[in-house]
Amino acid sequence: MSPQTEMPPHRRLLLLVLPVLVWFAYFLLTYAVIAVGCAFSIRRELFGFGIVQWIAAVSTIVTFAIIAVIGIQAFRRWREAHNAMKWRETTAAPDIDRLRFFALGTLLLSLLSLIATVWVGLPILIVPPCA
């Protein structure tokens, strides 16, 4: 567990918010792709599906996968810390307690980002673009 306890502070904070940042980047990108695609009337199709929709759909899947990986890793760290903390007062092992906090925080934000990704992805399937 030591490499994680020694992580530099700013990287630790970044890892905490990483899942939502990934989601936000995806959100902006998809929005921009749709905006540009519609502004310049890009109508090329691939397998009966507009190229704009393809980009949006693929980026949804990729985003989902990235966040899921972050979330699963956080879950492992959290379980590890959680088991290590059992039967112990938090004051007895403040570093493991802190690790548990960061792991759980990343895990929860990953779950939130996964939900948000699915919800943002829904319109790509349901709503016609540029209408």
Partner 1 sequence: MQKAPTGILSISSAAARLLALLSLGGGLSGCSITIEGVQSALDPRSSIAGEISQVWWAMFWGSLIILALVIALALYALKRRSRPSRLGHNSLIIVGGVLLPVVTLSALLSYGLNIGHDFKSGSAAPAELTIEVIGKRWWWEVRYPGQGNGPPAVSANEIHMPAGVPVEFALTTTDVIHSFWVPNLAGKIDMIPGKVNRVQIQADTPGVYRGQCAEYCGAQHAWMAFYVVVHPPEEFEAWLRNEQAPARTPDSTFLRQGRESFINTGCGACHVIRGVEGAVGTLGPDLTHVSSRLSLGAATVDNNLGTLAGWIADSHTMKPGNLMPPFAAFDGATLRAIAGYLESLE
Partner 2 sequence: MSESDASMLRPLAGDAPRSPGEARLRKAWAKPQGIAMLSAVNNTIVGRYIIATGFTFFILGGILALLMRAQLIVPENDLIDFELFNQLFTMHGTTMMFLFAVPIMLGFAVYLMPQMLGARDLPFPRMSSYGFWCYFIGGVLVFGSLFIGAAPDGGWFMYPPLTSLTYSPGINTDIWLLGLSFVEIASLVAATELIVGILKTRAPGLSINRMPIFAWAVLVMASMIVIAFPPLLVADIMLELERAFGWSFFDVERGGDPLLWQHLFWFFGHPEVYIIFIPAAGVVSMVVATFARRPLFGYTWVVAAMIGTGVISFALWVHHMFATGMPRMSLSFFSAASMAVAVPAGIQVFSWLATLLGGRPVLKTPLLFVYGFLFTFVLGGLTGVMVALVPFDWQVHDTYFVVAHFHYVLFGGMVFPLFAGLYYWMPLASGRLLSERLGRWVFWLMFLGFQITFLPMHLTGLLGMPRRVYTFPAGMGWDTLNLISTVGAFILAAGVLVFIVDLFAHFRRGERVIHNPWEAGTLDWLPVAPFQPWTTFSVPLVHGRYPLWDQRELVAEVDKGGHFLPDAPVGRRETLVTDMITAEPQQVLRIPSSSWIPLSAAIATSVFFVAAIAKEYAWSLIAAAVTLAIFILWAWSNARIPEADAVDAGKGMSLPAYVTGIHSHSWAGLSIGLVVDFAAFASLLFTYFYLWTAWPDSWPTEPFTTGWFPLVIGILILAASSYAMAWASRANRRDDGRGYWIGILAVFALGALFMAFVIPVFARSGLDPTRHSFDSTVWAIIGYHLLHMGVGLVLATYTMARTLAGHLTSRHNTDLNNTALFWHYTVGIGIVSLLVLFLVPF
**What binding mask, one character per residue, do residues 7-36 give for partner 2 by CB under 8 A, x or -?**
--xx-xx--xx--xx-xx--xx-xx--xxx
Q: Of 115, 117, 121, 129, which one interacts with partner 1 (CB under 8 A)?
A: 115
Shortest distance (Å) from residue 120 CB to partner 2: 5
Task: Give whole-number Cα distances, 2 to 7, 15, 87, in Å.
Answer: 9, 16, 21
Phi, psi of 49 (to 5 degrees): -130, 130
Which stretches of the chain are DSSP H helices? 2-5, 9-39, 51-85, 94-126
Shortest distance (Å) from residue 119 CB to partner 1: 6
Q: Does 131 bind partner 1 (CB under 8 A)?
A: yes
